[in-house]
Chains A and B, each alone.
Chain A
Amino acid sequence: MFPRLNPLTTLTAAVAVLVMTTAAASWAVSLTVAVGAVLLSAAGGTLRRVLVASAAIIVPFWLSLLVIHGLFFPEGRTVLASWGPARVTAEGLSFALEMGLRTAAFVLVLMVFSFSVRVPELVAALTARRVPPQVGYVLASTLLLAPLVAARLEKVRQAQESRGLVVGRGIGSRAAAIRLQMVPLVLGLVHDAGIRAQALDARGFRSAGPRTSYTEARDSAAQAAFRLVAILLALAAVGWRIVESLSAGSLAALSLSGGGPG
Chain B
Amino acid sequence: MSQPSLTLPPTDRQAVRRRRLLELLGAAAIAATFVFLVLTQPADIAGGLGSVSSLVALGGFLLGALLLIVGVLPTLPTSTVVLIPVALVLNIVLGQLMGTSGLPFYLDSIGTVLIAVLAGPAAGAATGALSSIVWSFFNPTVLPFAAGAALIGFLAGVAARYGLFRRFYLAPVAGFVTGIIAGVVSAPIAAFVFGGTSGAGTGAIVSAFRAMGDTLLAAITKQALISDPMDKAIVFAIAAMLVYALPRRTTFQFPFVRRFRVLAGREPAARNS
Interface residues of A (CB under 8 A from B): 19, 22-25, 53, 57, 60-61, 63-65, 67-69, 71-77, 85-86, 91, 95-96, 98-99, 102-103, 106-107, 110-111, 114, 131-132, 134-135, 137-139, 141-143, 145-146, 149-150, 153, 179, 182-183, 186-187, 189-191, 193-194, 196-197, 200-209, 238, 241-242, 245
Given A68-B203, A190-B83, 5 more pairs with CB closer than 8 A: A23-B55, A68-B197, A72-B207, A73-B210, A206-B78
Least CB distance from B13 to A in Å reads 13
Contact B93 A150 (CB under 8 A): yes
Closest to A195 in B: B82
Distance from A40 Cβ to chain B, minimum over Cβ atoms (Å): 15
Q: List 22 A-B contacts (CB under 8 A).
A: A65-B203, A67-B207, A68-B206, A69-B210, A73-B210, A95-B48, A95-B195, A96-B195, A99-B194, A114-B136, A135-B130, A149-B89, A179-B241, A183-B245, A186-B245, A187-B246, A190-B86, A193-B79, A197-B81, A203-B6, A241-B52, A242-B52
Which residues 1-36 in B have Cβ within 8 Å of A in the complex? 3-7, 9-10, 12
Question: Inside 8 A of B194's CB, which chain A residues have their CB?
Answer: 61, 99, 103
In the bound complex, residues from chain B placing their C-beta under 8 Å from that of A204 are 6-7
CB distance from B93 to the nearest CB of A (A): 7
Does chain A have a CB within 8 A of B103?
Answer: no
Give A146 to B195 CA distance when docked, in angstroms: 31
**Chain A residues with Cβ under 8 A from B51's Cβ?**
22-25, 241, 245
Residues of B within 8 A of A95 (CB): 45-46, 48-49, 195
Q: Are B84 and A138 in contact (CB under 8 A)?
A: yes
Minimum CB distance partner of B194 in chain A: A103
* Closest residue on chain A to residue B201 by CB atoms: A64
Within 8 Å of chain A (Cβ to Cβ): is B196? yes
Residue of B nearest to A108 (CB): B140
Flag if A193 contacts B86 (CB, 8 Å).
Answer: yes
Question: Given known contacts A107-B141, A134-B74, A139-B134, is B211 in contact with A72 (CB within 8 Å)?
Answer: yes
Q: What's the least CB distance linking A231 to chain B, in Å?
A: 13
Contacts of B9 on A, CB cut-off 8 Å?
206-208
Q: Are A194 and B253 in contact (CB under 8 A)?
A: yes
The smallest beta-carbon distance between A139 and chain B, in angstroms, is 6
B38 within 8 A of A: no
Q: Mark B47-62, 1 if CB is under 8 A from A, else 0.
A: 0111110110011000
Instruction: Give the complex CA separation of A142 and B139 in angstroms.
Output: 15
A76 touches B46 (CB 8 A): yes
Using a Cβ cutoff of 8 Å, how many contacts connect chains A and B? 209
Establish whether residues A207 and B139, one from each chain, have CB atoms under 8 Å apart when the complex forms. Answer: no
Interface residue ranges, B against A (CB under 8 Å): 3-7, 9-10, 12, 44-46, 48-52, 54-55, 58-59, 69-70, 73-74, 76-79, 81-86, 88-90, 92-93, 114, 130, 134, 136-141, 143, 194-200, 202-204, 206-207, 210-211, 213-214, 238, 241-242, 245-247, 250, 253
Residue of A nearest to B139 (CB): A57
Q: Which B residues are in CB contact (< 8 Å) with A24?
A: 51
7 closest cross-chain pairs (CB), A and B: A99-B195, A64-B203, A25-B51, A110-B140, A204-B6, A72-B210, A141-B85
| Residues of chain A within 8 A of B247, CB atoms compared | 187
A74 touches B89 (CB 8 A): no
Partner of B45, one of A75, A110, A190, A207: A75
Q: Within the complex, what minimum Cβ distance (angstroms) separates A228 from chain B?
A: 19
Residues in B with CB closer than 8 Å to A74 are 210, 213-214
Question: Contacting A245 at CB < 8 Å: which of B52, B85, B242, B253?
Answer: B52
B137 surroundings in chain A (CB, below 8 A):
114, 143
Residue numbers in B under 8 Å from A132 (CB-CB): 70, 73-74
CB distance from B57 to the nearest CB of A (A): 10
- Residues of chain A lying within 8 A (CB to CB) of residue B90: 149, 186, 189
CA distance A149 to B245 in the complex (A): 19
Flag if B78 contacts A208 (CB, 8 Å): no
Known: A190-B83, A196-B82, A245-B52. A145 touches B89 (CB 8 A): yes
